[in-house]
Amino acid sequence: MQPNRRNFLRQIAAGTGALAIGLPNLSAAAMGKESYGKAASSQQTGDQHFNMSGYAAPRIDTVRVGIIGLGNRGSAAVERLSYIDGLEIVALCDKYQDRVAKSQLTLAKMGRDKAREYSGEEGWKALCESKDIDLVYTPTPWELHTPIALHAMNHGKHAATEVNAGLTLDQCWQLVETSERTRKHCMMLENCCYDYFELLTLNMARHGLFGELVHAEGAYIHNLGRDNIFNKNTYADMWRLKENIGHNGNLYPTHGLGPIAQCLDINRGDRMDYLTSTSTNDFSLNNIAREMAATDPFFVQYVDRPYRGNMNTTAIRTIKGKTMMIQHDVSSVRPYSRIHLVSGTKGVAQKYPEPERISFGHEWIHENELKELYEKYSPAIVKHIGAIAKDIGGHGGMDFMMDWRLIDCLRNGLPLDQDVYDAATWSSIIALSQQSVANRAKSVDVPDFTRGAWKTNKPVNLTLEGGGTTKVRDIKGVGAGL
C-alpha cells in the first residue's frame, strides 16, 4: 500500500475527513486509530503470515496456568480448573489482594498447592513476564483482555481470554498479528460453543441433516440492568455499566454468534462479507439511573448519559450468500435467550425459547426423537466428558467442558477449536456494529482476518482423535474413573 493511501485511511479511522465518504466520526476508543489502515494493509499487500488455523503447538505435559482476574468468572475458573489433571495453577492475580487470598483458599480446598500472588493495577504484567507459565487465563474487565493477551503472547505464553477478545478493529488485528508472529495460541473463551444443544446441532450440520445451511440466528438477551449492571458489588468499579455508555451497537455478540459461526464454517470454508446494524433508543438504563440516584447520590453521575439502545439487531451476509442475525439486549424485561437457530434446506433447530426443538418438516419432532438424536449425534467430547462436566458445573457444564478441551489440546499438541481468527472475527462485530448504527444502518465490510486462508482452513474437529487423555481428578467423588 502506498504511504499516502495508508495515511488517508488512518485519517478516516480517526474521524478526519469521515463525512466526505459517509463514515461516522468514531473515536479511537470505539474503533482504534488505525483500524482501517490495518485492515486494508493486511488484506491487500499479500504479506506472508503464519496461519494459526489448524496450528498444533508443541505438546505440554503439565500445563502451568496463571489466572488474571478473580472476580465472578475468575474465582469460578480457579475451582473448575482445579479438577483437571495435568495442570498446575502456579499464579493468581487480581487488582484487589483480598480476591487473591480468597482464591488461595479455593486452591487449598481443592487439594492444590498455593500459587504465587500478584496484585495491584499492573500486577498482570509481572505475571505475564514470569518464566514458569505456559497459559495465561484472563477473566478480567473487557478493556484488559487485549492488552493482557498481547503481553502474554509476547512473553512466550498461550493466551485464553474471556469474551470479548477485542473491543476495536485495531485490537483484533493486533491479536491476529501477534499470535501469528509468536506462534502462540490466542483463544477466546466462548463457553457457549460447548453447550450441549449447540454441539449437537454443529455435529448434525456436519452430517448434512439440515441440508445446506442458509440462515442462522444468535443473541444475548439477558436482563442485567438493575440487579447486575447497576449493582455496586457485581462488577468492580462499575466497569460494565461504564461500557454501556457511549458505545451504541452490539456490545456482547459472541455468545450467540460463536456457535452459529461454527455451524456455518466461518473462517473455514466461508467468511463474513458485510453487515448492517440498527439500535433502538435507550428506554431503560437512564430511567434506572434516575430512580437509583433518587435514593443514592452515588448514581447521580450516571444520570443523563449516552447509553446504548435497548435492542441492537445486526444482520451479517457471508461470501457464500448465507445470512446471520445477532441481537443484543441486556436491559429489557425479557426471559434469557441466545436464540441459537440454524436453518437449512432440509431442517431447522432452535434452542430458545425453551424447550429446544428440531424440525425436518412442518412440525417439531417429538421429545423421544430428540433424545435419539442426542444419543446418535452428540460429538465425542460430550460422550467422553459431558456427564462429568454437568456434575462439576459452570453454566450447566459447558464452562468445564471448554476448560477441559483447552487443556487436553495443549497437553496433546492439538489445534484448538477456537483460534485467533475466530476471536478477532467474532469480536469485530462490536466495532463494526457501532459504525453501522452511527451511519443509519449502512453496510460495513467485515475484515478477512485470515487473509484468504478461509478458503482452505479445515472445519472444527469434533472428534477426540489424538486427544482425550486428560484425566479429571477425583475430588469429592466427582470425576472418578476418567
pLDDT digits (tens, 9 = 90+) for 417-439: 999 999 999 999 999 999 999 99
> What's the confidence (pLDDT) of residue 136?
99
Mean pLDDT of 271-279: 99
pLDDT digits over 56-86, tens only? Answer: 999 999 999 999 999 999 999 999 999 999 9
Same domain, 362 and 442: yes
Residue 242 confidence (pLDDT) above 50: yes
Statement: residue 13 has pLDDT above 90:
no
Supply the DSSP symbol for 16.
Answer: T
* Residue 51 falls inside a structural domain: no
Q: Which domain holds residue 92?
A: 63-189
Order across the sheet with 341-344: list the strands. Answer: 357-359, 348-350, 341-344, 213-221, 323-329, 312-318, 272-279, 444-445
CA angle 364, 373, 354 (to 5 degrees): 45
With respect to residue 86, please indicate whether it lies within any of the assigned structural domains: yes
Averaged over 125-138, what is the pLDDT?
98
Residue 23 clears pLDDT 50, i.e. is over it: no
Q: Are 86 and 179 in a shared domain?
A: yes
Average the pLDDT over 155-165 and give the result. Answer: 98
Residues 265 and 361 in one domain: yes
pLDDT > 90: percent of the chain? 88
Tell me what pLDDT residue 48 has.
63
Within this chain, do residues 324 and 246 fall inside the same structural domain, yes or no? yes
Q: Is the pLDDT of residue 478 over 70?
A: no
Q: How far apart are CA 435 and CA 446, in angstroms?
A: 11
Report the domain count for the chain: 3
118 plus 257 within the same structural domain:
no
- 107 has pLDDT over 60: yes
Q: Which residue would you say has higher pLDDT here, 281 or 482?
A: 281
Looking at residue 475, what is its pLDDT? 73
Asked if residue 231 belongs to a domain, the reply is: yes
CATH number assigned to the domain comprising residue 337: 3.30.360.10
Nearest one of 278, 277, 296 to 288, comparing CA atoms? 296
Residues 217 and 346 in one domain: yes
List the beta bridge partners of residue 266: 270
Statement to judge: residues 255 and 267 lie in one domain: yes
76-92 in b/e form (b: 16+ CB < 10 A) is bbbbbbbbbbbbbbbbb
363 and 307 within one domain: yes
Is the distance from CB of 252 to CB of 383 less than 8 angstroms? no
Is residue 482 pLDDT above 70, yes or no?
A: no
Q: Is residue 477 part of a domain?
A: no
357 pLDDT higher than 50:
yes
Per the listing, cell 450441549 goes with 196
